[in-house]
């Protein structure tokens, strides 16, 4: 592992300043980078710990913000208003995700050919929209992500290797959506893998949200297996 430090990292999309943070290795770049998108309630302790771990593994790890500087994330209800606004404007959502990718790829300390993205819940939707956009992202990982889209992947457009990890008892991404995204990616000739943990519920990677609402539960085994698979995917795609 290499030393790393956490610092604020802001970008501007349209008239909105987005308030992220970066965990950068202390060794010289350019680095392979991993862009992480949190769930609908914003970056919690487990999310921040994951950004830190990836930075310590030698990646330049960036926690993205989709809502904007000063957004009220004090309660799930407050955060939910920003979440709903983006869900109701899917073109803005996709454009904002691409803006994050472009900003990270354009950093002097990043190797633009070695950028990956990981997302959780709402963030899982974000990274799938990034892949569907045709952005030259090396790979994306969606954990218990929202799988529906306004603009399905088209043949020959998706450049990323895609990993989808879903729970069979997730009320926010039901089996019908899991089957639909597989059919979508098959039709679009996407290089993907889709894994279903039959008994896992929503947010199975995140103990911070365990039991927050019915259908939301942490699953330690699903978390460990999916994380091991993600590290292998990053190693293969980014060759850090």
Token digits for 75?
Answer: 């309660």
User: What is the edge-to-edge ordering of all strands in the sheet holding 4-13?
Assistant: 4-13, 16-25, 60-63, 31-37, 110-120, 139-143, 161-167, 192-197
Q: What is the pLDDT of residue 29?
A: 87
Distance CA 127, CA 168 (A): 20
Q: What is the pLDDT of residue 5?
A: 66
b (16+ CB within 10 A) / e for 185-207: beebebebebeebeebbbbbbbb
Query: pLDDT tens digit string along 89-112?
Result: 999 999 999 999 999 999 999 999
Distance CA 24, CA 233 (A): 20
Query: pLDDT tens digit string along 65-77?
Result: 999 999 999 999 9
The mean pLDDT value for 136-161 works out to: 98
Query: pLDDT tens digit string along 221-234?
Result: 999 999 999 999 99
Distance CA 2, CA 69 (A): 30
The structural domains of the chain, with segments of one domain joined by +, span 4-238
Answer whether residue 2 shows pLDDT above 70: no
CATH 3.40.50.300 for domain 4-238 = no
β partners of residue 60:
33
The mean pLDDT value for 160-179 works out to: 98
DSSP state of 134: T
């Amino acid at each position: 592992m290499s030393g790393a430090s956490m610092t604020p990292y802001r970008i501007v999309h349209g008239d909105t300043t987005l308030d992220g943070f970066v965990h950068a290795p202390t060794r010289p770049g350019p680095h392979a980078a991993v862009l992480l998108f949190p769930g609908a309630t914003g970056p919690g302790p487990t999310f921040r710990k994951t950004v830190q771990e990836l930075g310590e593994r030698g990646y330049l790890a960036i926690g993205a913000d989709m809502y904007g500087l000063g957004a009220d994330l004090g309660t799930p209800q407050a955060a939910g208003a920003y979440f709903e606004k983006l869900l109701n404007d899917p073109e803005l959502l996709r454009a904002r995700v691409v803006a994050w990718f472009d900003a990270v790829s354009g950093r002097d300390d990043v190797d633009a050919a070695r950028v990956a993205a990981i997302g959780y819940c709402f963030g899982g939707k974000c990274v799938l929209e990034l892949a569907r956009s045709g952005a030259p992202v090396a790979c994306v990982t969606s954990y218990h992500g929202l799988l529906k889209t306004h603009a399905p992947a088209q043949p020959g457009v998706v450049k990323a290797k895609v990993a989808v990890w879903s729970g069979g008892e997730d009320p926010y991404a039901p089996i019908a959506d899991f089957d639909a995204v597989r059919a979508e990616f098959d039709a679009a000739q996407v290089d993907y893998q889709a894994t279903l943990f039959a008994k896992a519920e929503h947010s199975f990677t995140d103990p911070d949200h365990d039991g927050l609402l019915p259908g939301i539960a942490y699953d330690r085994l699903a978390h460990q297996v999916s994380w091991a698979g993600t590290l292998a995917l990053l190693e293969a795609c980014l060759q850090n």
